[in-house]
Structure formats: C-alpha cells, structure tokens
Amino acid sequence: MVSSQTGFIFATGIENSIPTIEGGRVRMDEMEKCGHYRHWRRDFDLVEEIGIRFLRYGPPLHTTLLGARRYDWSFADEVFPELHKRNLVAIVDLCHFGLPDFLGDFQNPDFPALFADYARAFAERYPWIQLYTPVNEMSICALFSALYGWWNEQLRDDRAFVTALKHIVKANLLAMRAILQVRPDALFIQSESSEYFHAQNPKAIGPAETMNARRFLSLDLNYGRRVDSTMYEYLLDNGMTRDEYHFFLNNNLKHHCMMGNDYYQTNEHHVAADGTTKASGEIFGYAVITHQYYNRYRLPVMHTETNLCQGPCGDEAVRWLRKEWANVLRVRNNGVPIVGFTWYSLTDQVDWDTGLRENNGRVNALGLADLDRNLRPVGQAYRELIRDWTEVLPTQSVCLQVPIALSQDYPGIDASVPPPAQESTAATGAPRNTE
C-alpha cells in the first residue's frame, strides 16, 4: 500500500444520529428522516459537485448490528463500494447517539465488547477504509442520555451519567484497538463537542468551574490523561471503580488520534448560582476554546462539525461559515496543527430544533443542500471556499500533512464485491496492537 500525503481536509457529513425517545418506543433515525436511504447516490453526487473529498459517514448501527457477532451488511455493501469507486474518503462514524434495540441503552455493560467486535468486522469487510470516528460526541451522548434525560435511557442523575460515559469511552477505545488489529495504520478522528461555561455572577463560579472540568472527562479518559482531583472524586463517588479508572490510563491510543472538535453557537453557556444553565451564544468562539483543548491534549486538531440555519435573510449560514473559517485560520496561524474543517451536514436535518427530543418532522435548514438536494447559498459558498484554499494550505509550514492512503492507493480491492465477514483477527493470526 502506498501512503499519500493529503493536504487540508475539507469535509462534510451525512447525519446518522439514531437515538431513541419516548421510553425507547420511537427511533429518531436521521438518515431516514432526511431521505438518505432513498437518495444516497444523489447525496454522493452532491459531495462531488461541491468539491469535497472527505465525508463523515457511517452505516446505521441499529439495523447493521443485529446481535452478538451478527450483522446485516446489505446497505453498507451498496454505499461503501460506491464511495470507493468515486475515490471519496469516508471518515467512518460507527456509533452516533444510539444503540440497537437488543443492547437497549448506554447503561448496558455488554455494549463495549460487542461494539468492538462490530468495529473489527467492519474493518475486515472494508479494508480500504483508514479513517474512523468510532463513537461520535461521547460526552454529548452521555449527557443527553443519562444526565439530561433526553434520549435512550432518559435518566437524570450523576451515577447514570458516569455509567454511560465509562461504557461509551471504553467502547471507543476497544473499537480503536480492534480496528488497529486489522488496519495498523488506521487514524482516529474524535468528534467531540468543545464547550465552555461562563459564570453569571460570583456565586456561580463554583458550579461553572465544575462544569468546565466535566467537559474534558470523555477526552481525558479516551486519551489516558489523569483527570483533576475534583473529577476523580466525582467519578468514584458515582460508581467508577479504581480498576475501571486505571483501564483508561493504561489503554492510551492517543498517538493514533486527531482531536476532532465541534463548535456551534449553542456550545457556550451561562451558569447561574444554583447550577442551572442557559445558552449564552458565541462569547469566546471556536479559536479561543480550541486553544484550551489543544493545550490540554497536544494533538493535531480537526474542526469536525459546525452549522447554522440559513435564516430569514438567507445569508446567516454563509456569514457563519466565513466566521468559522476565519477562526480556523486564526488557530492555524497561532501555530496549532489544524488539519481539517467540516460543515455538518450535507443536507438539511430534521427535528434538531428540539435536540431530537420530539418527533415533529420539522425540517431545519442547516445543510449545504436542502432535502430536495438543491444547493443552499452556504453550499455554494463552501464550494468557493474549497476551490480558493485547497491549493494554498498544503504549502504552509504549520498545516500538518496527514498520511492518508486514498482508496485508489489500496491495491487488489474489487470494491464492487465486498469480502464476506471474516473470523476474528485473533483466529486468523492478523497482527495485534500490543501498546
């Protein structure tokens, strides 16, 4: 296999959230709501028409993972060979906010091991794929499912949150290790929400400091970084054992990772003295908050999600795109190795105005294209941005060159005939990552 040096990664994504609501009775399948199952070829056409090479994308977990080592690859076998044929690079998103019915929710301790088996089977079936986000927005998934009571288990307490978080991050780590056993040069782009909590008055400083420490928990555990003393006590007080904590310290795969961070206008919060929060809108902005995360983890950075509704004036999303891009350039010019930018998602979304808490069928004008697959003004602006900057950024010394093997570089693959699912790599003697 020949490794290609790619320049700056301009990406978009196909929204594939699948949380359940109403006590698990309703599945909020965004690929169904947005028409992707019916229009996936047209969606791939749009990606190419905009000039995008990289696509955050994954198969629907709830219909692909049927049971312990039982998989239905029928949809994946249509779409991933087509991406390979078009030489579009997938950043594969394997778990996005929900689990199959047989697993229930993120309180289930069986989830990490079964998910790792699934990740290994996927990597074996589609060996040309190198880039992965095993579990999307681990912190948000745990918060919305187990502390805010919105999705999946719909619980509202710290012990449920810690339980969900430790299962989610363990699943991410075990999946990374399983994929590396199949594809030793795999790269993992975490997509995690970058948050900040502003104290509204002096009495709110304590709650805000706690929340600003909690926002790092998922990445601290994922990257094997020791949490601060307040969060260590919080984890142990809410059900994490010392052995579980040391599992995260001892399973550090940080050197295979890029720190993907997401930023929206809703990522900053005002905190009141009683610990309640409300959205503050943009105060610090992406550049300031990204420096906080980079200084903590010292990893290459990718801006993995942003968007804004088009709005009544028709140019709100375009102005937000330009503002976010200016922030990316500021981060880059300050010496942080930032490798990519993403407008998320390709098409409009449905019911995100209520955080997928209500099944209203309301279209949110957040995409590069509408649900009729017509480009919005922000899609046209993104196409121009990519055209203008693609040839410039790779020549700049602080823009990291990422060693990505593009699909065309992977030899001996007939993508039109995916291989059958293989046995575990432990049985076939494939190399293991023993770090």
Please report whether residue 44 resides in a domain. Answer: yes
Please report whether residue 389 resides in a domain. Answer: yes
**Which residues touch 391 (CB under 8 Å, ≥6 apart)?**
none
Residues of the chain with pLDDT > 90, as a percent, come to 88
pLDDT for the residue 92? 98
pLDDT for the residue 41? 98
Euclidean distance between CA atoms 42 and 234, whole angstroms? 48
188, 173 contact by CB (below 8 A)? no
pLDDT for the residue 391? 81
Q: What is the pLDDT of residues 200-239, one digit of tens each?
A: 999 999 999 999 999 999 999 999 999 999 999 999 999 9
pLDDT band at 433 (very low <50, low <70, confident <90, very high): very low
User: Is 50 exceeded by the pLDDT of residue 424?
Assistant: no
pLDDT band at 392 (very low <50, low <70, confident <90, very high): confident
Helices (H) and strands (E) in the chain, counts: 15, 19
Average pLDDT, the chain: 92
Say what the pTM is.
Answer: 0.92
Q: What's the half-sphere exposure (Cβ side, CA atoms, 13 Å) at 417?
A: 3
Amino acid letter at 127? Answer: P
Euclidean distance between CA atoms 319 and 50, whole angstroms? 18
Please report whether residue 189 resides in a domain. Answer: yes
pLDDT band at 404 (very low <50, low <70, confident <90, very high): confident
pLDDT for the residue 398? 45
Please report whether residue 433 resides in a domain. Answer: no
**Stronger pLDDT, 422 or 179, i.e. the higher one:** 179
Pick from 12, 22, 126: which is nearest to 64 by CA? 126
Euclidean distance between CA atoms 20 and 18, whole angstroms? 7
Euclidean distance between CA atoms 234 and 302, whole angstroms? 30
pLDDT for the residue 99? 98
Q: What's the half-sphere exposure (Cβ side, CA atoms, 13 Å) at 5?
A: 5
Pick from 12, 17, 51, 59: which is nearest to 34 by CA? 17
SS (H, E, C) 239-252: CCCHHHHHHHHHCC
Please report whether residue 435 resides in a domain. Answer: no
Q: What is the pLDDT of residues 69-101, one digit of tens each?
A: 999 999 999 999 999 999 999 999 999 999 999
pLDDT band at 2 (very low <50, low <70, confident <90, very high): very low
Domain containing 123 equals: 4-428
User: Is 70 exceeded by the pLDDT of residue 418?
Assistant: no
Q: In the numeric block, which tokens belong to residue 192?
A: 């995690």
Residues of the chain with pLDDT > 70, as a percent, come to 89
Q: What is the pLDDT of residues 42-60, one digit of tens each?
A: 999 999 999 999 999 999 9
User: Is 50 exceeded by the pLDDT of residue 179?
Assistant: yes
44: CATH? 3.20.20.80
Please report whether residue 21 resides in a domain. Answer: yes
Q: 3-class SS at 143?
A: helix
User: Is 90 exceeded by the pLDDT of residue 434?
Assistant: no
Pick from 40, 92, 94, 98: which is nearest to 71 by CA? 94
User: Is 90 exceeded by the pLDDT of residue 422?
Assistant: no
pLDDT for the residue 406? 67
Please report whether residue 434 resides in a domain. Answer: no
Give the range among 139-153, 275-289, 401-415 with minimum mean pLDDT: 401-415
Q: What is the pLDDT of residues 138-162, one digit of tens each?
A: 999 999 999 999 999 999 999 999 9
47, 12 contact by CB (below 8 A)? yes
pLDDT for the residue 412? 54
User: Is 70 exceeded by the pLDDT of residue 410?
Assistant: no
CA distances from 206 to 48, 232, 275, 293 (A): 49, 17, 9, 21
pLDDT for the residue 389? 95
Please report whether residue 184 resides in a domain. Answer: yes
DSSP 369: B
How many distinct structural domains can be found in the chain? 1
pLDDT for the residue 185? 96
Other CB atoms within a 10 A radius of the CB of residue 281 amount to: 10
pLDDT for the residue 372? 98
